[in-house]
Structures are given as C-alpha cells and as structure tokens.
C-alpha cells in the first residue's frame, strides 16, 4: 500500500493500553473482531500502510494476551508498556521511549478505531508536512459531540489553539461541534518536549495528549486541524453496540469495493464478507452468503444462496450451493451442494462434484471425480473420473486410529458401500451395491460382498403376529390371490410371471 507520492512517517504509535470496560468482556477490547480481523489488526494494517520506519503499540490492560495476539498477527510491531500513570499523554510518552528517530513526523492512532484507512493517514502526513505545522490533528464535525474533546480554533479558523476535553469544557466550548478524532501527526521533537511538560491537573487526573497542542501553540508553533468528512472512519469502539455498528459499516464498505471491482452481490443486506477475502471478476454472490478469513473466490464462480465459506478457495466458474466449507479447495468448474459440509483438507478437483448431503474431510478428489449423494468421505483419495455411489460411507475411524482409503481413477463405487479403512480400490475397478469393502479391490476387478437375497415367505405372520404389519401383509396376499385368480382366467402366463417377482 506504500506509495511514493506521499511521504512516510518516521514512526506510528498505536494506543491500546485502555481497559475498555464498557465492552463488559473477558476478552480485551482490541481483540474483539469485525470483518474477520481484530480491531487491533485493522488499526495496524492502516498504520503499516503508511510505511513507517518504526511501528509501536502501547499496551497495559491484559498486556500478555494482547502481546500474544501481536506475536501471531503482527510480529514486526514493537510493544511499549504504559505504567500506572493514566492518560493518552502518558501512553504516547511510553511509546516514544521505543522510538529511535530524533526528527520527522510521528503519527498517533488508536487500536480501537477499525475503519481508519492508510490513505487517510498518508493524506494527514502530507498535509502536515506541507503546512510545516508542529501538530496536525484529524478532526470531524458531528451532530452530537458529547464526550469528545473539542477543537478550539483561532478567530479566523486557520490555527488551533488547543483541545478541551468534554469534562473540562464550559458551556460555550461544549457547543462546538468540531471534535478531536484522537488521530494526529506530530513533529517528533515538539512532541517529546511538550510531553515532558504536561501535568495531570484536569477533571480526570490524567496526562492528556491533547495538552500538547496548547503547549506547542503557546511556544509559537503552528497547530492545525484537518477535518475529515468520513466520521465513521475515525470512530472508536467503546461497547458492543458500536462494535456491531462499525462491523456492519465495514461490511458495507467491503461489499461496495467488490461490486465496484466487478463482483455481483445480489443482496448486500444478507451478505457478509471479511476484509481479507478476495473475489474474482464476474463472480456472483447470492443472498445469505458469508465469506470468512482468507477465502478466495475465482472469476465467474457462483456462491450461494445460504452458504458459509471459511479459508476456502473456490476455482473459476465453480458453483457452491447452500453449503458450509472450512479450509477446503473447490476446483475450477466444480459443483458443491446443496446441503453439503466440506471440512478441512477437502480438495475437490476441477469439474468434480460434491452433491447433496455429503460430508468430506481430508479428502482429495481428482478431476471430474464425483460424490453425488448422501455420503461421508474422510481421510480418502478419490481418483479422477471416479464416481462414488449414493449413500457410501468411508469408515475411516476404528475407534482408536484414523486410516486412509485410496480409490483409484475411473472407479465405480456402487451405492451404499462401506469402505473400511485402510483399503485401496484399484484403477478402473467397480464394487457392487451394498458392498462392505474390507479388502483391497485390484485394478479392473469387481468387488462384491453382499450375500444373495433370500426371501423367507410368511415371516411376518409368524414372527410379528398381531401387528399392523401382519394385517397389511395378509390383506396384500389376499388381494394378490384374488387378482391372480381373475388374471389367470383371462391371461394365464403373464400373471404367473408377475407373481414370480414378489
Ligand atoms: C480521547 C481524547 C479526546 C478525543 C477522543 C476520541 C485525550 C485526553 N482525549 O478521549 O480529545 O475526542 O479520545 O476518541 O486524549 N489509552 C491508552 N492509555 C491511557 C488511556 C487511553 O493507551 O492511559 C488509549 C485507549 O486504549 C484508547 C485511546 O487511548 O485506544 C483513547 O482512550 P479513551 O479513553 O477512549 O479516550 P478519551 O481519553 O476519552
Ligand atoms: Ca474512546
């Protein structure tokens, strides 16, 4: 995302030390997710997009859990610890201790502002450096500024005298509708110096970062505000209501980005797509679809309706209908569903088919391979062009261990087979309906295990006497006798043949 036109800051400091008590959660606020990423990873993605030399995150509340999350998702960031002195000013001061740069621009952002984009930050750096200001704050005009710090401007409006916190503001100041977003560009030397001079002498007994602006101003430096029109972009998450609101807004923005890039989304209201999902041109997303994680949809694929895919790759022109997949691959031109469940390690080859009511796991299905109906296929390889008959189950688990089943190319597995793993069916082989495959079937062989059918006449009358089944059987036999008698009178031979089938 780094661009050459806009300058990169020397450092970005992301504040994430606050407790976030209004979330009422055991999970630290910045680890709550929208769009498939934590709030913190969203904030860091924007920060990284400015191409800073140093990226610092300030932690305190639930420090270990957040640091662990960082190690997993953003290992290049530097962690700074805030001490017991409260306030955004102290947080930045602790962050600055990890920054080696002596000159240049440092950006300050929050870990709980997920919609902020790198482009906005780059514009802030550019405007800050162009104007030669010591501080440039990103501000916004909002209908209800309650709770926010208010921007105090000079008479002509060009310079900022300072920021007054809501709790410290008088009646006239509270009427100001231009608020501090909490996102700033600072001259690093000015910031270091001013932070050394701020106190906790205010309504909240905290070190306010906002005091840096009035200090810089009274030192005769230039302090400016850049107003953003996009208020939601700078909004923070404080409770779960805002989490849902910003989550919905992020989704709306994600869907819009895909639609503008040539993806059809039939019903944006019921479609949820995570930030990291990629979708090819002319793919069609039907109502009720959720695409999560690193899911990748190929060009002209059709997904939905009512389908959830996580970390799943769908090839060009494939179709996935009313199904659920996790860590699966669906090849180009393949079809899945309706009502199937593709678990981790499912890899369906090009033009293959996983039809209705099929569950697969660790199953590699070759090109054109088909599992059309009502099956479970786990820990198995199915060769190209092979068809697995309806109702077939791969018994991969013996109660202790899982075993693998290998089915060759162009095999015809009959309906209702049980393949007891480990077992191998050779290329071009076939199995009869109802076969329990316990031994390997060689290439080209027919495997059959079902015994020949034997009908025990009158069994129900003897063993289920007095049941509705007996009544039904007796009635059927009586009517057969009557019609046999009638038909014998008319056409003799034919009716004998019919009776022979029963
Ligand atoms: C702050 C600003 C206010 C601005 C508002 C925008 C100050 C004094 N006030 O308000 O002008 O309108 O943000 O949302 O800066 N944090 C720390 N350590 C701390 C305190 C906070 O890291 O000791 C972090 C929090 O985790 C959070 C961010 O700083 O990410 C803002 O903290 P919060 O308490 O929400 O902001 P306010 O101080 O109310
Ligand atoms: Ca806040």
DSSP for 114-177? Answer: TT--HHHHHHHHHHHHHHT-SEEEEEEE-S--TTSPEEEE-TTSSSEEEEE-GGG--HHHHT--
Alpha-carbon distance of 224 to 388, in angstroms, equals 70
Q: How far is CA 342 from CA 32, 106, 297, 338, in A?
A: 27, 47, 16, 12
SS3 per-residue string spanning 250-313: HHHHHHHHHHHCCCEECCHHHCEECCCCEECCCCEECCCEEEECCCEECCCCEECCCEEEECCE
Please choose, from the candidates 215, 29, 223, 51, the residue with its C-alpha nearest in 3D space to the C-alpha of residue 112: 29
The whole-number average pLDDT for the span 250-255 is 98
Alpha-carbon distance of 324 to 334, in angstroms, equals 15
When pLDDT is cut at 50, 70 and 90, the band that residue 450 belongs to is: confident
What percent of the chain has a predicted confidence (pLDDT) above 90?
93
Specify the range with the lowest mean pLDDT, choosing from 222-231, 304-313, 363-372, 443-452: 443-452
Among 13, 14, 16, 18, residue to substitute to test ligand 1 (most atoms within 8 Å of Cβ): 18
Task: Return the residue matching tokens 């140093």.
Answer: 54
Alpha-carbon distance of 325 to 308, in angstroms, equals 6
pLDDT tens readout for residues 225-238: 999 999 999 999 99
Residue 149's CB is within 10 A of a number of other CB atoms, namely 28
- pLDDT, position 296: 98
pLDDT tens readout for residues 383-407: 999 999 999 999 998 888 999 999 9
- pLDDT, position 497: 42
Can you tell me which atom of ligand 1 is nearest the CA of 87?
23
pLDDT mean across residues, the chain = 95
- pLDDT, position 491: 59
Handedness of CA 301, 306, 307, 308 (dihedral sign): positive
When pLDDT is cut at 50, 70 and 90, the band that residue 489 belongs to is: low
Please choose, from the candidates 33, 217, 11, 242, the residue with its C-alpha nearest in 3D space to the C-alpha of residue 121: 11
CATH fold of 11-234, please? Spore Coat Polysaccharide Biosynthesis Protein SpsA; Chain A (3.90.550)
Alpha-carbon distance of 338 to 336, in angstroms, equals 7
Can you tell me which atom of ligand 1 is nearest the CA of 209?
15
Ligand nearest to C-alpha 29: 1
pLDDT tens readout for residues 451-487: 888 999 999 999 999 999 999 999 999 999 999 888 7
On the CB side of 242, how many CA atoms lie within 13 Å of its CA? Answer: 19
Alpha-carbon distance of 322 to 356, in angstroms, equals 9
pLDDT tens readout for residues 146-156: 999 999 999 99
Please determine, for residue 81, whether its predicted confidence score (pLDDT) is greater than 50.
yes
- What three-state secondary structure class fits 72? helix
Which carries the bigger pLDDT value, residue 393 or residue 498? 393
Among 88, 96, 164, residue to substitute to test ligand 1 (most atoms within 8 Å of Cβ): 88
Ligand nearest to C-alpha 198: 1
Please choose, from the candidates 9, 14, 234, the residue with its C-alpha nearest in 3D space to the C-alpha of residue 129: 9
The whole-number average pLDDT for the span 15-31 is 96
373 is catalytic: yes
Residues β-bridged to residue 329: 313, 347
Please determine, for residue 493, whether its predicted confidence score (pLDDT) is greater than 60.
no
Q: What DSSP character marks residue 232?
A: G
Please determine, for residue 4, whether its predicted confidence score (pLDDT) is greater than 60.
no
Give the strand pairing for 178-187 and 135-141: antiparallel
- pLDDT, position 2: 46
- pLDDT, position 459: 95
- pLDDT, position 485: 87
Q: Give me the residue spans of the domains in the chain.
A: 11-234, 251-447
Residues in contact with ligand 1 by the CB-under-6-Å rule are 15-18, 58, 82, 86-88, 90-91, 110-112, 148-149, 163, 165, 179-182, 208-210, 236
- What three-state secondary structure class fits 390? coil
When pLDDT is cut at 50, 70 and 90, the band that residue 373 belongs to is: very high
Distance of CA 46 from the midpoint of ligand 1 (Å): 18
Pick the CATH number of 251-447 from 3.30.420.40, 2.70.98.20, 1.10.540.10, 2.160.10.10: 2.160.10.10
The active-site residue, picked from 61, 373, 403, 410, is: 373
- pLDDT, position 488: 66
Ligand nearest to C-alpha 235: 1
The whole-number average pLDDT for the span 409-423 is 97
Q: What share of the chain is helix, strand, coil (3-state, %, to 5)?
A: 30, 30, 45
Phi, psi of 196 (to 5 degrees): -70, -10
**CB of 141 closer than 8 Å to CB of 211:** no
For ligand 2, a single-atom ion, the residues with CB < 5 A are 236
Residue 458's CB is within 10 A of a number of other CB atoms, namely 10
Can you tell me which atom of ligand 1 is nearest the CA of 149?
11
pLDDT tens readout for residues 335-360: 999 999 999 999 999 999 999 999 99
- pLDDT, position 496: 43
- pLDDT, position 39: 98
CA angle 462, 466, 467 (to 5 degrees): 100
Please determine, for residue 211, whether its predicted confidence score (pLDDT) is greater than 70.
yes
Burial class of residue 214 in the structure, from the number of CB atoms within 10 Å of its CB (0-12 exposed, 13-18 middle, 19+ buried): buried
Asked whether the domain spanning 251-447 has the same topology as the one spanning 11-234, the reply is no
Enclosing H/E stretch for 420: strand 418-420
Please determine, for residue 313, whether its predicted confidence score (pLDDT) is greater than 80.
yes
Distance of CA 184 from the midpoint of ligand 1 (Å): 12
Distance of CA 451 from the midpoint of ligand 1 (Å): 76
Give the strand pairing for 302-303 and 284-285: parallel
Nearest protein Cα to ligand 1, atom 22: 17
């Amino acid at each position: 995302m780094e661009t050459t036109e806009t300058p990169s800051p020397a450092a970005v400091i992301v504040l994430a030390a606050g407790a976030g008590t209004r979330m009422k959660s055991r999970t630290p606020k910045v680890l709550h997710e929208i769009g498939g990423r934590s709030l913190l990873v969203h904030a860091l993605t924007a920060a990284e997009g400015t191409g800073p030399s140093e990226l610092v995150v300030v932690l305190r509340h639930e420090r270990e859990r957040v640091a662990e999350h960082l190690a997993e998702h953003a290992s290049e960031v530097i962690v700074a610890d805030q001490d017991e002195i409260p306030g955004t000013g102290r947080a930045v001061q602790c962050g600055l201790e990890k920054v080696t740069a002596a000159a240049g621009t440092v950006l300050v952002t929050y870990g709980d502002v997920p919609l902020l984009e790198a482009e906005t930050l780059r514009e802030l750096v550019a405007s800050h450096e162009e104007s030669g200001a010591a501080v440039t704050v990103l501000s916004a005009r909002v209908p209800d500024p309650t709770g926010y710090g208010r921007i105090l401007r000079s008479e002509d409006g060009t310079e900022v005298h300072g920021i007054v916190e809501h709790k410290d503001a008088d009646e006239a100041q509270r009427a100001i509708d231009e608020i501090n977003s909490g996102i700033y560009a600072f001259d690093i030397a000015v910031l270091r110096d001013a932070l050394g001079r701020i106190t906790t002498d205010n309504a909240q007994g905290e070190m306010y970062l906002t005091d840096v602006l009035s200090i810089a101003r009274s030192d005769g430096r230039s302090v400016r505000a850049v107003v953003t029109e996009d208020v939601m972009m700078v909004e923070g998450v404080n409770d779960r209501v805002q989490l849902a609101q910003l989550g919905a807004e992020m989704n709306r923005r994600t869907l819009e980005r895909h639609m503008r890039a040539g993806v059809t989304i039939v019903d944006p209201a019921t479609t949820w797509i995570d930030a990291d999902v990629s979708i090819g041109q002319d793919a069609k997303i039907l109502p009720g679809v959720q695409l999560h994680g690193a899911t990748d949809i190929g060009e002209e694929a059709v997904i939905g309706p009512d389908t959830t895919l996580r970390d799943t790759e769908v090839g060009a022109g494939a179709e996935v209908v009313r199904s659920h997949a996790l860590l699966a691959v669906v090849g180009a031109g393949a079809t899945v569903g309706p009502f199937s469940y593709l678990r981790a390690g499912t890899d369906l080859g090009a033009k293959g088919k996983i039809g209705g009511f099929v569950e697969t796991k660790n199953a590699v299905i070759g090109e054109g391979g088909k599992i059309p109906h009502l099956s479970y296929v786990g820990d198995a390889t199915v060769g190209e062009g092979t068809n697995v008959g309806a109702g077939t189950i791969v018994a991969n688990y013996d109660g202790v261990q899982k075993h693998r089943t290998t089915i060759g190319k162009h095999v015809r597995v009959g309906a209702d087979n049980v393949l007891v793993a480990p077992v191998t069916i050779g290329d071009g082989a076939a199995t009869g309906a109802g076969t329990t495959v316990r031994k390997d079937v060689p290439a080209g062989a027919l495997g059959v295990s079902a015994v020949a059918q034997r009908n025990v006449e009158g069994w129900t009358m003897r063993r289920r006497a007095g049941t509705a089944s007996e009544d039904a059987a007796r009635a059927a036999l009586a009517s057969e006798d009557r019609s046999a008698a009638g038909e014998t009178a008319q056409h003799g031979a034919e009716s004998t043949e019919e009776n022979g089938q029963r």
